[in-house]
Amino acid sequence: MAKKSTVAEPSTGELAKKAIKNRYEFVLLYDVKNGNPNGDPDAGNAPRVDPETGHGLVSDVCLKRKIRNFITLVKRDAEGKPDDGFDIYVKEKAILNEQHQRGYDALGLDPKKKEGKLKEGESPKEERVRRWMCNTFFDVRMFGAVMSTKVNAGQVRGPVQISFSRSIEPIVSLEQSITRMAVTTEKESQAQDGGNRTMGRKEIVPYALYRVHGYVSPFLAEQTGFSDKDLELLLNSLVQMFDHDRSASRGEMNPCALVVFKHESKLGNAPAKKLFDLVEVDPKNPGTPARSFDDYEVTVNKDATPKGVELDERL
């Protein structure tokens, strides 16, 4: 028998109470070898690149997808159902309006019914559903979501924001021809006199090291209930997500370094840029193409860490 969900509608105060109390930033370095880390559909699925500098790019959405997929693996019961509070809102084949309707159904509300005069201290139904969504879906609680669609569940600005990744050096994309010893239709086979060969192509980056920055706001966490346990789960996903996202097209992708900055205060004790500048990445042999992480020198200037900031290296 499937377990019964115990996720309820939290109050605004309950969300704020369990939220993180510190500001965080992090730097993640990861690499790709003989693969395409994030193809651009508008460019024949070629690796994304900055045309002015030649540096490789990976979208924030690409990494968020990997994080979401990792959560679905680690936060589920023996029957494969998500643990309470760790369902995923944006998942494969999801219909978002149906996700919103789940909130209305759970709270006994009708999205089409006009709301009467509210009692003192009572929240509009959209706000009640918004809080339920935050409590139910990990990615809404973390990244936020625009849920003001036909079935209106409001909008959530997430406490966790991830930038585009950029390669440390310009990348080279190599187009490779590939052969499939089969065809799709009998007509194709006849055209080849039974040769049954299909040609295709794929583009790979021989090697590239990428850098991405992340930000975690305790003020926005108060609105969603993003907790310290949620944060630890996020950081674990950054370390392990590539191991559960293997694909022939992506080649070998691996985390190389994760540096987390924790501020003593909610407002923060230093500008994010000043902290990011503490992590320096330089090629050991400039002018020579890098082919592994060992070809780079990564320096974390711990001695220059501002007062009130704790530095944590995870890899």
Round to whole Å and give the CA distance between 298 and 28: 12
In a domain, 266, yes or no: yes
Query: pLDDT value at position 172?
Result: 94
For residue 141, is it within any domain?
Answer: yes
pLDDT tens, position by position, 237-273:
999 999 999 998 999 999 999 999 999 999 999 999 9
Residues 13-64: tens digit of each pLDDT: 889 999 999 999 999 999 999 999 999 999 989 999 999 999 999 999 999 9
DSSP class of residue 173 equals: -
For residue 295, what are its two tokens? 């070809």
Residue 298 lies in a domain: yes
In a domain, 47, yes or no: yes
Q: Is the dihedral of CA 241, 244, 245, 249 positive or negative?
A: positive
> In this structure, is residue 192 part of a structural domain?
no
Quick one: pLDDT at residue 7?
A: 62
pLDDT the model gives residue 196: 82
The answer to whether position 74 is within a domain reads yes
pLDDT at 6: 55
User: What are the residue ranges in the chain where pLDDT is below 50?
Assistant: 1-4
Q: What is the DSSP string of 83-124?
A: PTT-B-SS-TT--HHHHHHHHHHHTT--TTSPP-PPPTTPPP
Q: Pick from 22, 30, 28, 25: which is nearest to 311 by CA?
A: 25
CA pair distance 221, 19, nearest whole angstrom: 5
How does DSSP classify residue 19? S
Q: What is the pLDDT of residue 1?
A: 41
Please state, in angstroms and rounded to a whole number, the distance separating the CA atoms of residues 220 and 160. 9
Q: Which two tokens stand for residue 95?
A: 């219909």
In a domain, 138, yes or no: yes
Q: Would you state the torsion angle of the CA atoms of residues 159, 165, 168, 169, taken in this order, to the nearest 10 degrees? A: -160
How many domains in the chain? 1
**Considering only CA atoms, which of 192, 183, 180, 82 is closest in space to residue 140?**
82
Task: Judge whether 236 lies within some domain.
Answer: yes
For the whole model, what pTM was predicted? 0.91
State residue 231 phi and psi, 5-degree precision: -65, -45
Write out the residue range of the structural domain in which residue 277 sits.
13-171+203-313
Task: Note the pLDDT of residue 65.
Answer: 97
Output the DSSP codes for 260-278: EEEESSSS-SS-HHHHHTT
Phi, psi for residue 103 in degrees, rounded to 5: -65, -45
